[in-house]
Amino acid sequence: MVALAELDWITYQQAVSAEDAIIFLPIGALEQHGPHMSMNPDVLIPQAIAEGASELLKNAMVAPPIAYGYKSQQQSGGGNHLPGTTSLDGITLTQTVRDIIKEFARHGARKIVMMNGHFENSMFLVEGIDLAIRELGWAGIDDINVMILSYWDFVDDKTIERLYPDGFTGWAIEHGGVLETSLMLYLYPHLVDMDKVVDHPPAKFPPYDMFPVDPELTPASGTLSSAKNASREKGEILMSVCVDGIARSVSEKFQSNLPASAPSIGAA
Ligand SMILES: [Zn+2]
């Protein structure tokens, strides 16, 4: 795995000009994830997955993540009113993404993979990509390609059935639940304390949002579903499904060298 920031600039310049060079850019958030977990899983998980996927590709580098994200929404992150959750305005995130893509393009990068770890970021990332591509076009650079993905979209139905034998309530309600807690148990066990998990039924919301939010609608723990059934083993399965699926998609779009059967991935 090549950490972009750890290269000297001459080596970086060579790497970024190599044929089929790919830059992964993880984007997360600083957001509460319940009493049992640190506030940075949305950063650490996509970064680890980007590192794992880059191992399976040639000429792939992982850029330092954007560690702050768009405002936590009540139905997907508990809400932006909770302490610890530290968010950017949409325009700030959009322009940060636009600026970073334009800088990588200036260095010669033409293939960028944005790895999202925080649901609320999605459309602001799309807007940043769109503005960057538009402005690069004005500057005569019209051969840049950006892939954007959220890692949980690579968890297939079969894996969901296996990991959620009692039924799956959807990714939004997973905030601080089995998905993120299992991945953190696998990748960074010292940042999780399973003794502090609050076991509560999945949060229930009306089919609309109100602003300001009614804090009563968010479970007191800040999680939207229980992490009680999280485990390191589930985290390992999730990690390998995401890393393999993402490496395969990136390879299909940007390269064509992925081995038929990708080796399984160790902990970051
Ligand atoms: Zn999260």
Q: Render pLDDT for 171-190 as a digit per residue (tens, 0 to 9).
A: 989 999 999 999 999 999 99
Residues labelled as active-site residues: 31, 33, 42, 118, 120, 175, 180
**Residue 268 confidence (pLDDT) above 50:** no
Q: Per-residue confidence at 1, pLDDT binned at 50, 70, 90?
A: confident
Tell how far the Cα of 15 is from the centroid of ligand 1, in angstroms.
Answer: 32
Q: How far is the CA of 28 from the centre of ligand 1 (A)?
A: 8
Structure token digits, residue 252: 């299909």
Which protein residues have a CB closer than 5 Å to ligand 1 (ion)? Answer: 42, 180
| 8 Å CB contact between 219 and 176 | no
For tokens 């994200």, what's the residue? 69
**Spacing, Cα 44 to ligand 1 middle (Å):** 10
Q: In what order do the strands lie in the sheet with 111-116?
A: 2-3, 60-62, 22-27, 111-116, 145-150
How far, in Å, CA of 181 to CA of 191, rounded?
A: 10
* Ligand 1: centre distance to CA 143 (Å): 33
- pLDDT recorded at residue 258: 57
Q: Answer yes or no: are the C-beta atoms of 79 and 215 closer than 8 Å.
A: yes
**Which secondary-structure segment (H or E) carries 60?**
strand 60-62
How does the average pLDDT of the chain come out, rounded?
A: 94
CA 43 to ligand 1 centroid distance, Å: 8
Distance CA 198, CA 222 (A): 9
Q: What is the pTM of this model?
A: 0.94
